Amino acid sequence: LRVHAHPLNDGEERRMGSLIVLHNLTRINQLESIRQDFVANVSHELKTPITAIRGYVETLLDGAIDNREDAEKFLNIIHRQGSRLDAIVDDLLTLARIEDTAEKNEMEMQEETISPILEAVIQTCRVAAEQKNITITMQCLPEQLTATINRSMLEQAIINLLTNAVTYSPEGSTIHLRAEQQNKATTNQSIRIDVQDQGPGISHEHQKRIFERFYRCDKARSREHGGTGLGLAIVKHIAACHNGEVELQSRMGSGSTFSLILPKQN
Ligand code: ADP
């Protein structure tokens, strides 16, 4: 708390009282601490693959290069860690771009039919799903459902949710992708896009934090599939840019349903 006191005098220099101004710095300090945490997290996330790359390059230079089998193994790790760096930087740039667009109020919104967007997203995730023998179903109600959205951003959000569903679901399971119109009692109509999986589910503890940047329930698992820990933070940002929100319903052992709820008109 910062305190400023000013004497209040009348026209003849007689003291009438004091004006005391209290500045509440809590919010400013909170923002500063969030920023510091973010910088520390980014540094850590970037350093991990860089350290691995340097370590394996040094091992190769120290002689491992002469053993073809070892050399190939290490080069593969270096390649993978390089891709990881690439993915983190890509996701950070996506986040920054979304924030920038939102700040400047420059989002291009258009009325779009939703079902072709769902089809395009499924197409993007098809190969990954087929590799795990996962079926993706799609439903859109009404079929010609429309909403005022930024198409590429909405696609990105659904791709992130569907990619996670495929990643964390067991082989041979089914993922349901649904879009529907919600007619509330109020005049404000909204649309709801659900991605429902039969994966392991997410505990309450994790649910609270899962949309934070770099938060992962299982670090090793996320890294293994090349995750950056930024996918859901991006989804949350995109929902906010549409004046909407993202919800999660999940229980351990009974799958997860992530829902994007967006106003029909923006
Ligand atoms: P990541 O790149 O690690 O997947 P995300 O931000 O997309 O980062 O997700 C954060 C974490 O949330 C993941 O590491 C994972 O632990 C958990 N998660 C996300 N989606 C699912 C899901 N459909 N089922 C189970 N866990 C999930």
Q: In angstroms, rounded to a whole number, what is the distance separating the alpha carbons of residues 190 and 97?
A: 25
- Tens of pLDDT along the chain (266 residues)? 778 888 888 877 788 888 888 877 777 787 787 778 888 889 999 999 999 999 999 999 999 999 999 999 999 999 999 999 999 999 999 999 888 887 777 788 999 999 999 999 999 999 999 999 999 999 999 999 999 999 999 999 999 999 999 999 999 999 999 999 987 666 678 999 999 999 999 999 999 899 999 998 888 878 777 789 999 999 999 999 999 999 999 999 999 999 999 999 88
pLDDT in tens, 57-95: 999 999 999 999 999 999 999 999 999 999 999 999 999
Q: Which amino acids bring their CB within 6 angstroms of ligand 1?
A: 164-165, 168, 197, 199-200, 202, 210, 215-218, 222, 227-233, 256
Q: Name the residue of 83, 84, 210, 218 to mutate for ligand 1: max ligand atoms within 8 A of Cβ.
A: 210
CA angle 205, 210, 214 (to 5 degrees): 125
* Cα 188 to ligand 1 centroid, rounded to whole Å: 31
Q: Name the residue of 134, 216, 238, 260 to mutate for ligand 1: max ligand atoms within 8 A of Cβ.
A: 216
State the CB neighbour count (10 A cutoff) for residue 44. Answer: 10
* Cα 31 to ligand 1 centroid, rounded to whole Å: 25
Structure-block tokens of residue 229: 């820990």
Quote the DSSP letter at residue 214: T
Closest CA to 125 of 93, 172, 175, 159: 159
* Cα 114 to ligand 1 centroid, rounded to whole Å: 25
This complex has an ipTM of 0.98
* Cα 165 to ligand 1 centroid, rounded to whole Å: 8
* Cα 154 to ligand 1 centroid, rounded to whole Å: 18
Asked if residue 236 lies in contact with residue 246, where contact means CB atoms within 8 angstroms, the answer is yes
Task: Give the nearest ligand 1 atom to 222 CA.
Answer: 3
Question: To which residue do tokens 């996918």 refer?
Answer: 231
Q: Please tell me the pTM assigned to this model.
A: 0.85
